Structure 1
Amino acid sequence: MKRNLLSRALSRALFVAVLAPVSFTAVADDGGDPAPDPKQLDAVVVQADIAYRNRTDAVAPVLSYDLEYFQRFEPLTVGDMLKRVPSVAFVSDVLEYDGAQLRGLDPGYTQILINGKKVPGAGNDRSFFVDRIPAELVERIEIVRSASANRSGDAVAGALNIVLRDAYEFDGSYVRGGVMHFDDGKYKNTYGAVSSGEVGGGRLLGGFNVQGRYNPKVKRSDRFDEPGGDFVDREDQADTRDGTDYSANVSYTHDIGSGRLSLDGFYVRTDRDETEHSLEYNDPTSSSRDNLLSVNDQFENIKQDNWSFGANYEFDMLGGRTELDLDYARFDDDTMATEEETGYDDEDTPPSFDGREGTRTLSDISDDELGFKAAHKRELGNAKVEFGVDYLDKQRDTGLQIAEVESDDEDVALPAYEDFEGMASRIDETRIDPYLMFSGASGALAWEAGLRYETTDVDVRADDTAASNDYSTVLPSAHLKWDLTADDRISLSLARTVRRPNFDQILPLTLEEEFGDNDFVGNPLLEPERAWGLDLGYERRLGQRGVFGVNAFYRDIQDLIETVNTGEPSSTALGDFEDEVEEFLDENPGANENTPGYPQFDPDSFVYTARNVGDGYVYGIEFDLSTPLTVLGLPDTGVFVNYSWLDSSVDDEFGERRFNNQARYVYNVGFIQNLPDWGVSFGASYRRQGDAYSRIVSEEVTTTYEGDLEVFVEKRFGDRMSVRLTGSNLLDASKDEAFNKFDNAADQIDRDFDEYELERETAGPVYQLIARYSF
């Protein structure tokens, strides 16, 4: 009943806004005017000047960075670009930048948009891997620090909007080609082209990019019975990721009557092999066969397709501007993973053959999203009003098949993988989200206030089990921008946001030994996490091109989804008890439950589930500076600095901790020196983030990264060609992890370790030579 009342109230507000008298014919800044002269693409090829962060006029706090801000360091992907912006951290393998963590929070707290629209991704936490989008397709990156009513509220940490190049903004053509050299001597090629111009009375842009991807890493793990305890074993591992990404985007705009039709689409294909070869020894230094415990080989073949198509039409209507938007996006993942291990018995000297086993897993994920938006903007007195409704239909299908084989003969290969056991699941979500937003300006003050009402209906099917749920949330937001002077600005934002449950958290499936000896069962009735957020920022223009900013933020997150104990014994506990009873009966024929010494069932591992329990808060302060040193008489020297200090607090069954995997800090510092008379530029960038800590049932992990140094040298030839040599990971950065592992929660509380592991992962430098030519 409450949901219906809220819906009716908002609908009436929208109705009143439609009928309100107006005194103008079109909103001037909504895209209805004639197109300005498009930006020439050859400016992307030959950058005569150093690019700095944009200073936007948006009322909501937005940081905007054009591609030129990043391009001299030749980023391969959007993930590489985000390394240089404030507050974005990653907890990934070395040289991998996939799940962006804005404000250091898990990727599921950050909304990833492409051209302002949601897109499906691979992660169970609804995250989108930003390393799937090549940098060459991008026009700019926007960090949206606080939510507004006309955008989806799935942005507790904020939103990252990846704006692709479009025909309306660009004109011209260029080609790109180059080669990358890796630490193990391997080379990979990259090439692509972009072209834009007038076609059929409108403007058309098309581009494609082929990017070789390669990452050879080396890992070493040392395991002990506890911290500071006895050595158990050592594992040496070579881990190589080898593949190619194929991508293309197209954009077409055409003015029709008082409106503008825009069509856009992109496609990204990832074809990647991941190969791991591990050797385990019972000695901390020896690599002799006499100390060999196991040989493990893992191979994954990953094929992913990400594509999207959108149609947008904006036109004059009823004294205002109306927008109709239709979007379809799809993500497909087809992965075959094989793990085979040969074990040796450590009780013999040297260890003797103890068997060979293998597991093959076939996973198939398809995620479809169909969206429609209808919105209207108009003046209302001295203010502007925007109202509309967003509709989203999402379907996520997952198929999983597993086959296991084994052999006890050292000279016989493993049998073929034929006997697969499978499971399938489907998640359907339907969202209808009306919103109403007002904005205006008076002198030095500009403001925006809105209300969004998000409704979600969820249907879940897993094998023979089905469940349904629905929930709704009212999301108010308000923003204030105060221009103290022509150069100084203060912004204040308050917004409510949500984070919907992870897909694996709502599937009604039982996963055995998911956390040590503990099982996990999904909860289809989970509600989303809800958060109130506050941002307070100050920004100052430095000269003509420089900008300095500082922003403090706070998030109060309620209805946190945490893993909790159901009290039901795990499959491991039940199995151990059955074995104990069987052993007792073998030793005591004819005994029963009343026989003295008969085993008593006292489980020490359980079935866990996810529930909305407790609250948490996140806070921090963010600095950024990008400016030429004109005040020092060095107008051709640009410096770039950003630093974010991050903290949080949440309680779990073991006590207080930060949000999992939140780095204490993340910063980037760099410079670019332009020598215009020589047509040469060079520069360097250094990045580092603080330790990240994660605690779940049966495992605690501390992750530490070393710093990453990048440099470039560029030579320009006239106004049509440039050549750049870049080097990344020049300090051979490492990722170090310390794992505290336990069998169950009771052991974790008592610090009774199952294993303590120290792992170090390293990779070598990568060099790129890239040339561009415009025509």
Structure 2
Amino acid sequence: MNFNRRTATLLIWLLATAQPGLAAPSEVAPEVHVDAAAVTGEERLIASQPQTAVNREQIDNLPSLRVGDVLKRMPGITTGGAIGEDKDIRLRGLDKEFTRIRVDGFMLPDAGEKREFQVDRLPSFMVEEIRLIRNPTAEYESDGLAGQIDIVSRPIPHKFKLEGRLGYGGSDAIDGDMLHGALSFGMRPLQHFGFLASTDALHDAVSREREKMFTNGKMETETEHRDKDFVSARLDLGLFYDRGEVRLKPLIHDVDEKKSKVKFNLEPGKKGKREEETEHKEQQTAGLELSHKHNFASGIILESRAGYHQTREEKEKRKPSFEETAVGSNLYVLKKTDLEEEEKKDRTLSFATKAVIPFHLGLAQEARVGASARLRERYRDKTKLEQNPAGSMSDKTGPKDNYSLDEDYYALFAQNEVWLTERFSVLPGLRLEHVRLDARDGGDFSLGSSRTDLNPSLHLLYTLRKDLTLRGAVSRAVNRPKFDELAPYEEEKGDRLVRGNPDLNPAIAWKYDIGADFARRDLLLGINFFYLDIQGVLEEVGTGVEVGGKEVYAVRNVGNGWNAGIELEQRIGFGWTGNPLLAGLVLWSNQTLLDSELKTAAGSKQPFKDQPDYIVNVGIDYTYQPWGTTLSTAWNYVAKTTENKADGTRKIKAADSSVDIAVYQKVSKNARLFLEGRNITNRSKVEQEYFMDGSSSRREESIGRTWLAGLEVKL
């Protein structure tokens, strides 16, 4: 089914479920409760699902240019990507493919093959709150078995509000390698109309060095320089009436990245090799979102939202390779040049509607029912060429490099929270999800498949006392396959043929959480135990079929395992002391202990890839009101990880530790100066590999410290 026809189908559904008209002006609207309200402190006590959050105040007082800077300090989260980027999010020690990220209720498309969303593209300046949802209710999409990140943008202010920020900095020095500017202003100039306009721009230039040493004397060195420009803009237009609101939100996120890299490969007794790589990548995500909320006099709330989003990525890469004319000559000649061009496009049309129905049938209850749909169209067009020194070209494009997919997602859900007593509620739920896939290779060959999942959930909440709650949750979650694994390709790799598999099923997990939260004005304590029973993890295995003397390999749902851990949180303020010197002091920390086991098709057992044993975050925030001075620091520690590869290689990533600091000084009622430092301990990433032949290697990567100084204004 083509995208236009699927779009028409969804629009017909949207019209069929349209909301009622404006309420009569004489009616008195009840208070509107927003699902995205903060769950920190006392409000966290009433949350039915296990979750935690960071609010705007916490974001403001630590170095947090991008959303990834915020997320890496939350419990159970590690970040991936090159050092200093913090763009790929990993929950509970699992790979990025097991996490799903939503922005204002929408899962935005991205260019990554693992369905991840790179959060370094999102400026934290535009964010009001970030919630980590550990075990979602049936109201939320089931995809993403590690958990979900829910990002909520800033609301439209009632009165005129303007915020601006200008920063100047760099790596190891304040030299202009980093520039940041942001502006946000909005208000409700009329009773029934309001707006918020925001923009954020960041230039970041980073140089990094990598060095890899082998026990046999071989050495690899690499120097990389990257210039990255981010530009984001968002507009929120609101039409308000007595019993509800209509919101229209256009948005755009642009990234322009230029990268250059020089790599040397030196080995005793052999000719040296050198590679010089340049890459230019442009990526843009643009969208238009429409939402409507209506509150009936009966207390029923009806909400709907629709959105169109498109991500496009274009990348050009050039890599000439050189070799020494003789061993030790230090004279290099060109051997070949690899050329690569790639375009990816991913566009989605989404719609969701739900009704929140409070009622009393012997017991106080709140039912929620709803439906959603997402039509997705994605393609990748990649060309790889090899040019010899004489200028002739050969095509190295592989069958996996080009594909297109249509993925249609439809869902229905129903849940009902029942208060058996004033203190104890039970929330059963059921979510039905149907996914239809049409996958095509780079030519005319196509295959289709469909799957329906019925995912139940049960959440329990018990208020032991007004400041202490206990909760438990169990749910069935899925994890849908990588895009490129669904393409119907066949590729020759050495002694094997590798085939894509459009019939792949998602991995399935039964998730169990049990925990407690204690919250008072100056104290928050949280503990959560979790266990994930995971079936059908994707793994490339031999099929036993031979074609032309080569065995056929394919990705299949053959891995089974479990993932478990403990998540702890503490936050204490000292306002209760009554001492002016201590009133502005807040100490916070979180710790996550992790363990897992994955049994492969070959029968081996090992932890999930790159899972640390524990993660620790510690922070101190201090504000001295008489001077208008705020000091903050945060320490992040991720324990070492071990990976046992199929070829017998053992890779160990050393523990990763970093410290960020910030100083803010008010210079007037509406302005403050700031100095922010990231990675002030100048951490490096270290990897060691141990090979089957007894040799080993050590790789170290560093980028130095980052400083940013500037001025903030709030009116």
Please confirm whether the aligned pair reaches a TM-score higher than 0.5, indicating the same fold. Answer: yes
Structure 1 residues 539, 240: closer, same or farther in 2, change over 3 A?
same
Q: Helix, strand or coil: the match of 2:120?
A: helix
Structure 2 match to 1:510: 490
How many Å apart are 1:700 and its aligned residue?
Answer: 4.7
Equivalent residue runs for 1:369-768 within 5 Å: 369-380=348-359, 381=361, 382-407=364-389, 415=391, 424-441=402-419, 442-464=421-443, 465-513=445-493, 520-542=498-520, 544-567=521-544, 607-630=552-575, 634-652=582-600, 653=602, 655-698=604-647, 700-740=650-690, 751-752=692-693, 756-768=696-708
Structure 2 match to 1:247: 232
Structure 1 residues 53, 120: closer, same or farther in 2, change over 3 A?
farther
Q: Helix, strand or coil: the match of 2:654?
A: strand
Structure 1 match to 2:257: 272
What is the one-letter code of the residue matched to 2:376? Answer: K
Structure 2 match to 1:20: none
Structure 2 match to 1:12: none
| Mapped partners of 1:268, 1:336: distance in 2 | 20
Q: Deviations over 1:600-624 (max 9, x none)?
A: x8x7xx5432111142110000111
How many Å apart are 1:557 and its aligned residue?
Answer: 0.8
What is the one-letter code of the residue matched to 1:251? Answer: D
Structure 1 residues 694, 609: closer, same or farther in 2, change over 3 A?
farther
| Mapped partners of 1:31, 1:487: distance in 2 | 21
How many Å apart are 1:418 and its aligned residue?
Answer: 9.5
8 Å CA contact retained: 2:157, 2:186 = no
Equivalent residue runs for 1:292-303 within 5 Å: 293-303=272-282
Q: Deviations over 1:354-413 (max 9, x none)?
A: 6421111111111111111122222342312111111111111110011110217xxxxx
Structure 1 residues 351, 677: closer, same or farther in 2, change over 3 A?
closer
Structure 1 residues 291, 610: closer, same or farther in 2, change over 3 A?
closer
| Mapped partners of 2:653, 2:501: distance in 1 | 30
Q: Deviations over 1:558-598 (max 9, x none)?
A: 1221221234569xxx8xxxxxxxxxxxxxxxxxxxxxxxx
Q: Deviations over 1:237-260 (max 9, x none)?
A: 111221210001111222245331
| Mapped partners of 2:219, 2:515: distance in 1 | 49
8 Å CA contact retained: 2:623, 2:631 = yes
Structure 1 residues 82, 169: closer, same or farther in 2, change over 3 A?
farther
What is the one-letter code of the residue matched to 2:177? Answer: Y
8 Å CA contact retained: 1:53, 1:66 = no
| Mapped partners of 1:139, 1:508: distance in 2 | 42
8 Å CA contact retained: 2:522, 2:575 = no
Structure 2 match to 1:357: 336
Structure 2 match to 1:411: none
| Mapped partners of 2:219, 2:181: distance in 1 | 42
Q: Helix, strand or coil: the match of 2:58?
A: helix
How many Å apart are 1:157 and its aligned residue?
Answer: 1.0
8 Å CA contact retained: 2:491, 2:499 = yes
TM-score, normalised with respect to structure 2: 0.88
How many Å apart are 1:29 and its aligned residue?
Answer: 5.9
Query: Unaligned regions of 5+ residues in structure 2, if any?
Result: 1-16, 18-26
How many Å apart are 1:318 and its aligned residue?
Answer: 9.8
Structure 2 match to 1:219: 210
| Mapped partners of 1:238, 1:32: distance in 2 | 49
Q: Helix, strand or coil: the match of 2:46?
A: coil
How many Å apart are 1:518 and its aligned residue?
Answer: 5.4
| Mapped partners of 2:297, 2:584: distance in 1 | 51
How many Å apart are 1:508 and its aligned residue?
Answer: 1.9
How many Å apart are 1:625 and its aligned residue?
Answer: 1.0
How many Å apart are 1:170 and its aligned residue?
Answer: 7.7
| Mapped partners of 1:120, 1:169: distance in 2 | 32
Q: Helix, strand or coil: the match of 2:465?
A: coil
How many Å apart are 1:740 and its aligned residue?
Answer: 5.0
Name which of structure 1's ranges 491-500 and 51-60 shifts more when overlaid on structure 2: 51-60
What is the one-letter code of the residue matched to 2:413? Answer: Y
Query: Unaligned regions of 5+ residues in structure 1, if any?
Result: 1-14, 16-24, 40-50, 225-229, 284-289, 409-414, 575-600, 742-750
Structure 1 residues 406, 418: closer, same or farther in 2, change over 3 A?
closer
| Mapped partners of 2:116, 2:219: distance in 1 | 34
How many Å apart are 1:701 and its aligned residue?
Answer: 3.1
| Mapped pair 1:194 → 2:184 | yes
8 Å CA contact retained: 1:440, 1:448 = yes
8 Å CA contact retained: 1:26, 1:378 = no
8 Å CA contact retained: 2:243, 2:296 = no
Structure 2 match to 1:47: none
8 Å CA contact retained: 1:56, 1:62 = no
What is the one-letter code of the residue matched to 1:98? Answer: K
Structure 2 match to 1:227: none
Q: RMSD of the alignment, in Å?
A: 2.9
| Mapped partners of 1:268, 1:198: distance in 2 | 25
| Mapped partners of 1:169, 1:438: distance in 2 | 34
| Mapped partners of 2:714, 2:334: distance in 1 | 61
What is the one-letter code of the residue matched to 2:583? Answer: P
Structure 1 residues 349, 109: closer, same or farther in 2, change over 3 A?
closer
| Mapped pair 1:206 → 2:197 | yes
What is the one-letter code of the residue matched to 1:485? Answer: R
Structure 1 residues 175, 418: closer, same or farther in 2, change over 3 A?
farther
| Mapped partners of 1:54, 1:718: distance in 2 | 33
What is the one-letter code of the residue matched to 1:219? Answer: R
8 Å CA contact retained: 2:30, 2:297 = no
Structure 1 residues 188, 450: closer, same or farther in 2, change over 3 A?
same
8 Å CA contact retained: 1:66, 1:139 = yes
| Mapped partners of 1:30, 1:330: distance in 2 | 32
What is the one-letter code of the residue matched to 2:195? Answer: L
| Mapped pair 1:309 → 2:288 | yes
Q: Deviations over 1:504-559 (max 9, x none)?
A: 2111223444xx865532111110111110111111114x1331111111111112
Equivalent residue runs for 1:38-77 within 5 Å: 55=44, 57-77=46-66
Q: How many residues align structurally?
A: 673
Name which of structure 1's ranges 426-435 and 307-316 shifts more when overlaid on structure 2: 307-316
8 Å CA contact retained: 1:733, 1:762 = yes
Which residue of 324, 327, 338 maps to 2:307? 327
8 Å CA contact retained: 2:45, 2:518 = no
| Mapped partners of 1:664, 1:340: distance in 2 | 41
How many Å apart are 1:660 and its aligned residue?
Answer: 1.1
Structure 2 match to 1:589: none
Q: Deviations over 1:617-675 (max 9, x none)?
A: 10000111122134665222111111101111011226111111222211111112222
TM-score, normalised with respect to structure 1: 0.82
What is the one-letter code of the residue matched to 1:469? Answer: S
| Mapped partners of 2:123, 2:409: distance in 1 | 30
Q: Helix, strand or coil: the match of 1:504?
A: helix
Structure 1 residues 53, 195: closer, same or farther in 2, change over 3 A?
farther
Structure 1 match to 2:713: 773
**Structure of higher CA gyration radius:** 1
What is the one-letter code of the residue matched to 1:635? Answer: A
8 Å CA contact retained: 1:27, 1:378 = no
